[in-house]
Amino acid sequence: MLTLNTATLRRALALQERIEDLQRELQGLLGKNSALAGFVSPAVAGPLRRGRKPGRPAKGGRKKRTSPFKGRKRPSSPSGPLAPAVHKVLKRAGGPMNVDAILQGLKQDKYVWKVSNPKANLAARVYTMPGLKKAGRGLFALKK
């Protein structure tokens, strides 16, 4: 005799949903006019489920983010671009520096920020800034 409890039923439902997702993915890969369409099970050939996925907000539930500068040129800092200013600070230091030290060097050079949180902005930008490399945990240096 088979005993079903809620945990078993939940696992069965999750497995069934995963199977349906994989079948829809396979149908999307093969397409309707594929030579392999005969090998796909009949469940895949049926219509795809329409509507939102479970757990997703309904339409209008989440606003799309737009740039406040859409259609306009982004303002630049009066003291110039950030990357050359960071390079200047690192070159003057002669060795690896952390974000706080770089920020202090930029303040000494009177770099003007157009953001509300300069440290967070610098911390995010320094990872992708050309000409820099990670020199250790939280340390950045110039590439040679």
Q: Is the residue at 56 inside a domain?
A: no
Q: Is the pLDDT of residue 140 over 80?
A: yes
50 within 8 A of 98, measured Cβ to Cβ: no
CATH number for the domain spanning 90: value is: 1.10.10
32 falls in which pLDDT band (50, 70, 90)?
A: low
103 within 8 A of 119, measured Cβ to Cβ: yes
Q: Is the residue at 101 inside a domain?
A: yes
Q: Is the residue at 1 inside a domain?
A: no
pLDDT for the residue numbered 59: 62
Helix (H, G, I), strand (E, B) or coil at 85: helix
Which domain covers residue 35, as residue numbers?
6-45
Q: Would you give the DSSP letter of residue 122?
A: H
**What is the tally of structural domains in the chain?**
2
8 falls in which pLDDT band (50, 70, 90)?
A: confident
H or E element in which residue 142 lies: strand 139-142
Could you report the per-residue pLDDT of 60-112, keeping only the tens digit for each?
A: 666 677 777 778 877 777 778 889 999 999 999 999 999 999 999 999 998 98
Helix (H, G, I), strand (E, B) or coil at 134: strand
Tally of CB atoms within 10 A around 112 = 12
